[in-house]
Structure 1
Amino acid sequence: MSGTFAFHNIYTTKNEVENIQTVLHEGNESGEGTMRRFEVAPGIQITYNDLKMDSCFRPIRFEKDFLQINHCLEGCYECELEGGSVSFLGEGDLCVDYLSKDRQVFLGSRIPLKKYRGITVLLEMETAQQTLDQGFQQAHISLEQIKERLCSDGRSLIIKSKHEIDHIFSELYSVDERIQVPYFWIKVIELLLFLSLLDGSAVCRPQQFSADISKRTQEVYQYIIENPFTKDTIQDLACMFGLAESSLKRCFKSIAGASIGTFIKTKRMEAAAELLVSESALSIGEIGSVAGYENQSKFSAAFKSVMGVTPQAYRHKYC
């Protein structure tokens, strides 16, 4: 993320300091965001990011070397790379970046869906290593080795299906504020130990797309949001927006965190759920027909697979 979340001096708006927590507010014409940063130990920070804006990127020059670990809980983040291509950090993804004073890896960034929630763990390489050596020397954690294994060729993306990653970060999102800081220290050690054990099979390079493919795919995303009952197939959408079907499928999943087929079904059922409540005069069969199902039983099965209950139960609960 090229320091987008991590460096408080690039945020010149309202700052509220509460002991070791700093709340950073960012706003521009595209929206607003909040970052809650905690000083865990010398050289180690954790930041909770909640951004509802198109972008908050500001180019900066690093005076030291950093290891930055980003986990995306919700939404996605788009990074512009050298050469004009882009890549995404999507829901459930973990990436490790080496931010060097000698190299600018990212040229810009955006939040395509105007929604990003996640956690950043930032380690200033020299100071954080001294902290780890003094405070947890028995772990033998080497930030330099982690950097060489995961970031030797720039940014590396850790496969999101790893159970260990979900376990580590799910607890970070729900930790009791009374024990936050000591708990952060424990979780940072757990995370670094996990990263220390990774080999090449657990790391994959992020998929890259042209800026044009990214833009057109985001237009498809918005079209589905605005037309949840569309009868257009994936092939139709690809043709409509001037994309190869394979490019649309790959880029859409990077942006939305789900396949385009799953996303269409989810948005269709969510819209059907709204009709069940707002249009009580319509029968369930009629709403199923609007959603593209001539057979009510098939509509009910599809609805339950997304919403967790049958249309009848949903209507009964909310009407």
Structure 2
Amino acid sequence: MEGNMGVIKNRKWFFIFLLPGLLFYILSVFYPIEESIRLSFMEWNGIGDKTFAGLQNYVTMFHDPTFYKSFLNNLIYLLIVVVMQLGIGLVFAVLLTFMKKHVTFVKTLYYVPCIITTVAIAQLFRSMYATEPMGLINQFFQAIGMEGMVTSWLANIHTALMAVSVPEGWRFTGMYMVIFYAALISLDPSVYEAAKVDGATDFQILLKIKLPLIKDIILLTLTMCLTGALRGFDIPFLLTSGGPGNASELLSTYMYKKAFSNNQYGYGSALAVFIIIESMLVVFILRKIFSERKECKES
């Protein structure tokens, strides 16, 4: 009886300690989502009375050419960011496992961009992309005799989207490098030492043994990276505000403009709901793919 009472008491304390965090999460995450869903069915300019509009905001959204342009831009932005953050981060992490000295220094060096403020990063890349005065990137192309590549990267409709994607990809590459490095060095060496004895190369060991063993970490980082890229806003907005035209417009920047610049809070909320659903769908698909692969291997 005393044992059962102890369990009950422990459970009570568990919920007591959990309650502050749970309340904070509800107020900071669930309540804004609920408000966005509610406002997406309204017509509201932010000042007057709200008018129920039914599905009109969603109908307008799916007939809006700028919405589709923003969605396509988001996919391209996502591809660039994921390849840079996870691809380069994984390569650097693997190279780091072969280093014997100055590992901490290199990790710190690559992690620094993660702690730099967004405004500073935006200003850094704006200076690098500039033509007047000539930025670092244009100076480089000029120095190697490729003057044809010199352009105003943020004002050119053909390069603006790539130009706003690269800073975001570069910014968190170091963070994912540290995560992958921690996962790789935590593996038991005896697992792949036998493969080395059998003549397997380092690349084969990485591909066939190490990466499958850290698949849960890969799923986690892929989820973080994809959902982060789908919500990408700050650096693209600071650099181009979606311009020139709609060349670098993302769903998040378009949502911000509609809600806070045009005072179309209902339509902006509908765009926000779409972004939420899109992010949840990506997470669901990723988990489905990874779970199916796991089931196939077990069978």
Fold match by TM threshold 0.5: no
Give the TM-score of the pair, scaled to structure 2. 0.20
Give the TM-score of the pair, scaled to structure 1. 0.19
Query: Of Structure 1 and Structure 2, which has the larger fraction of its residues in helix?
Result: 2
Query: Of Structure 1 and Structure 2, which has the larger fraction of its residues in strand?
Result: 1
Larger radius of gyration: 2
